[in-house]
Copies of this chain bind each other. A is one copy, B any other.
Amino acid sequence: MSSPNTPLDLTLDGGALTAQLVDFPSVSGDEQPLADAVEAALRAHPHLTVDRYGNNVVARTTLGRAERVLLAGHLDTVPIADNVPSYVDGDLLYGCGTSDMKSGVAVQLRLAATLPEPNRDLTFVFYDCEEIEASRNGLGHLAAAHPDWLAADFAILLEPSGAVVEGGCQGTLRARITLTGTRAHAARSWLGDNAVHHAAEVLTRLSDYRARTVEIDGLEYREGLNAVRIDGGVAGNVIPDECVVTVNFRYAPDRSEAQAEAHVREVFEGYRVEVTDSAPGALPGLGRPAAKAFVAAVGGRARAKFGWTDVARFSALGVPAVNYGPGDPNLAHKREEHCSLTAIAEVEQRLRAWLA
C-alpha cells in the first residue's frame, strides 16, 4: 500500500497509516529510521512540543488543562516472518506489527496530528525495544532520565487488547527450588540419596495448589503458580544429587512484590527457594476520575489484564494506566498477525470522542 522510509502521512485514515507503519520495518534495535520519521511528522504540528531521547519521541500539548492523559505505544516489532509488506483482505490488514502494535501507534499519531485543542492536555509517547530484554526498554529509559515527560493523571497503553479496556496487570515472580541429595552408582543406589525423588513433594504441592481469584475495581484477576522447568540428572547410571524446579507465580496486583515472594516461600516451606526474577503488578486504578470517565466513554466495559505489560511502569510512577488498543492480543508475534480495520477506526473514534 505504501513504500518504506517515505515520510509518514498523518492525513491517511488509521488503517492506511497502520499499513504505512508496517511497511516501515522497525524490528527491536532498528527503530531509528521510524523514530526519525515519527519525530519529523510530529514536528510539523505547531500545537505539539516534541522531545526526543534516544529513539524515544514524546509530543505534548501545553494548554494548561486540568487533567493530562498520556497515550503510549512502542515502535518496535518482533522479527519479521515473511509477513511484510502488509496486505488487506476484506476487513483485515495482515503483516508484522499490525496488531502488536503499529495499529495503536497509528491511532496515537492520528490523534496527535488532528486534535489541536483537546479537552485534556495530551502526551504522546513512542518508545523502542519493548519486545526484548527489559533493560533495553525505551519507556524504562524515559522513566529514569525524564520522568517529568511522563507526568500524567492517567495513561493509556495502546497495546493490543481487542478494543476492550484491560486494567492493571498481574505481577510475575520466578524462583528456583533446589533439591539436593548424594550421588551414587545406580547399581548401589542405597548408598546415595536421590534428589529427583525429593522433587515429588514439591510437584505435589504445585499440583494441589488452588490459585486465588480476586476482584479489584470490578475486574477479576486469576492467579497461577506453575513449574515452568524441571531439571535433574547426571548420567544414566548415577543417582542424581541435584534437581531444580523453576516456578513462575503470576499474581493479582493486590499483592506487592514482597508479599508475592513471601507467599511462594510459604508454599514451599522447608525447601531452598531462590527468587531469580520479579516484576510487580499494577493496580487497575479504575476508581480515579480520569479512568472512570475513560471507561464510560469507550463503552463501559473493562477486564483484567493477565500478562505483564508496561502499564506496570506507569503504576510505579504513580500514574494509573490501562491497555486499550485495536490489535488482537492472541495474534501478537504470530506469522499470520493481522488487525481489524474496523477496530482501528473504532478505537480512534472513541478516543477522539472522549478527548475532543
The residues of A with any CB-CB pair to B shorter than 8 Å are 170, 172, 174, 185-190, 194, 196-200, 203-204, 206-207, 211, 222, 224, 226-240, 243, 245-246, 248, 250, 277, 306-308
Contacts and interface: CB of A to CB of B under 8 A. Distances in A.
A257 to B, nearest CB: 16
B199 A230 contact: yes
Contact of A306 (B170, B187, B229): B187
Given A229-B232, A239-B228, A250 B187 contact: yes
B197 A200 contact: no
B230 A243 contact: yes
A194 B236 contact: no
A172 to B, nearest CB: 7
A226 B239 contact: yes
Contacts of A196: 203, 206, 226-230, 245
A229 B222 CA distance: 33
B199 A203 contact: yes
Contacts of A204: 200, 204
B232 A230 contact: yes
A117 to B, nearest CB: 40
Given A174-B236, A187-B250, A230 B227 contact: no
A236 B246 CA distance: 8
A236 B174 CA distance: 8
Given A187-B250, A200-B207, A307-B187, A228 B235 contact: yes
A200 B206 contact: yes
- Give how many copies assemble into the complex: 2
B189 A250 contact: yes
A224 B306 contact: no
Contacts of A238: 228
Among A186, A204, A235, chain B packs the most CB atoms within 10 A around the CB of A186
Nearest to A204: B200
10 closest pairs, A vs B, by CB? A229-B233, A189-B224, A200-B203, A196-B227, A187-B307, A187-B306, A197-B207, A200-B204, A200-B207, A186-B248
A26 to B, nearest CB: 24
Given A203-B200, A203-B203, A186 B224 contact: yes
A194 B209 CA distance: 12
Nearest to A232: B230
14 contacts: A185-B307, A186-B226, A186-B250, A187-B306, A196-B229, A196-B245, A198-B207, A199-B203, A200-B204, A227-B240, A229-B232, A230-B230, A230-B243, A236-B246
A306 B248 CA distance: 41
A123 to B, nearest CB: 28
Given A207-B197, A277-B236, A226 B174 contact: no
A280 B287 CA distance: 71
Given A229-B236, A233-B231, A306 B188 contact: yes
A321 B134 CA distance: 64
A68 to B, nearest CB: 30
Given A187-B306, A203-B196, A228 B237 contact: yes
Nearest to A209: B197
Contacts of A197: 203, 206-207, 226-227
Nearest to A199: B203
